[in-house]
A and B are shown apart, each in its own frame.
Chain A
């Protein structure tokens, strides 16, 4: 009896789909022939809701998009509104934004490492990485009062200053992360089982990745040197000195290595930003009721998952006419089928994990 063209359903309730994602797999024995993602199980109608809210009211809702990296969403939206309204963020505010955004990148990558390792079977890594992440969430809680949906970057700057106590606390947290990272890497990097499950799996070449519109660490793992923080810098990133880690083959192992290296680079950026923190204001003068004359802009940032952007069209009132979000995970997920084809269906979980998608961002 031949087991050809069997349709398997994975999700939407599944421990390893990183949210409510449904994958319709067509397999031939154990080899994947087709993968069709079905999304929309977390579609909350955000873009419609935003047309009924003021710009300031939208900022906390953007936390719920990529909920593992809430500050990145805040930053992208705030930068877009500032570009549209012509608001200039003071230098100190920009530096504090760099600190917060990179700390958020650390938290997001640590959570990703835990989830991916847990999916492949290395369950203790989840506990290690979440413990490291808790230190960072404690910093957010001390800064603004929230752990996950932080809302710590607002239109015009940041809501609070980083005082001496907080700066030294952040430095302490950053000093502790390399040790935990070393533990995680010692367990995974040269681990024979880890390598058997990740090396040569889920390959995508540089040309194909660009063609699919892939962005973020998954693209850099294929060898494409594209980081928006370097190419179209925002919020004073051009004054920071850091490297962009690249992969070679574009398999799951390369994507893992790239994100691990990005964690180290983020630590470097935060330390630099804290060293060079300029004095002055941290929030621009933004009117209480922000009305923006008609116009339209498109602004992107390098979020932990890829290139995150907003297009905002204003109509003269305090509510936007249209807000469209460019979601990196939405576009990245389209290349899942290409990466999975030809691999065993038990590798689908590892490949999906290495792409680092968040359903809140995909479904809006």
Chain B
């Protein structure tokens, strides 16, 4: 069990509520540099987010971040980590959910719960090639539709492949 310091009662309460409601889902938790992060199973993403939104009051999705772990020394089993940075307003409480997903595994789209994830998930698809089940309009957001490759993957070269034009 993660020990959240007593001077952060709101985070402590969130951690206990989450691990209490989803004991099998929460794989790991960390409290570093004042930030609480919980790693959960990919299949429980939607129920956990629904719980956090409706019962814990996290009404804002601040950011959706994707990490490509392929070059890390510990070489995890699943290539990508998707991070959901949640925020409770008013109250100013932040929590981060981490979901590990493999290269060709689709993830559930969180657009039904957080509308602001619409373009964020398109960006994740554009840059990393992650697919989201149930996304209303999953296509590239920055690059042209016929672009070949997913630029932010670690094996994609910075200068691109061949002539850009």
Contacts and interface: CB of A to CB of B under 8 A. Distances in A.
A and B touch in the complex (CB under 8 A): yes
A311 interface: yes
A210 B59 contact: yes
B92 A232 contact: yes
B73 to A, nearest CB: 9
Given A84-B33, A331-B116, A213 B142 contact: no
Interface string B88-121: 0110101010000000000000000011101110
A48 B120 CA distance: 17
Interface stretch (B10-18, B20-28, B61-69): B61-69
Given A39-B141, A45-B158, A231-B92, A295 B151 contact: no
B6 interface: no
Contacts, number: 84
A213 B143 contact: no
A296 to B, nearest CB: 8
Interface residues of A, number: 37
B119 A330 contact: yes
Contacts of B94: 298
B65 A40 contact: no
Nearest to A322: B67
A300 interface: yes
A131 B115 CA distance: 40
Interface string A309-329: 101010100000110101000
B77 interface: no
A210 B90 CA distance: 11
Contact of A226 (B32, B65, B89, B120): B89
Looking at B37, B68, B142, B143, the one whose CB has the most chain A CB atoms below 10 A away is B142
A297 B158 contact: no
Contacts of B96: 298
B72 interface: yes
B35 A324 contact: no
A212 B33 contact: no
B46 interface: no
Given A210-B60, A213-B61, A231-B92, A48 B119 contact: no
B67 A47 contact: no
Interface in A74-103: 83-84
Given A311-B65, A313-B67, A326-B63, A212 B158 contact: no
B158 A309 contact: no
B152 interface: yes
A274 to B, nearest CB: 29
A182 B90 CA distance: 34
Contact of B63 (A231, A295, A309): A309
A48 B115 contact: no
Interface in B113-143: 114-116, 118-120, 127, 140-143
Interface of B: 32-33, 35, 37, 59-63, 65-68, 72, 83, 85, 89-90, 92, 94, 96, 114-116, 118-120, 127, 140-144, 151-152, 156, 158
Nearest 5 A/B pairs, CB to CB: A213-B116, A40-B142, A43-B142, A326-B63, A324-B65
6 contacts: A40-B140, A83-B33, A213-B116, A324-B63, A324-B66, A363-B142
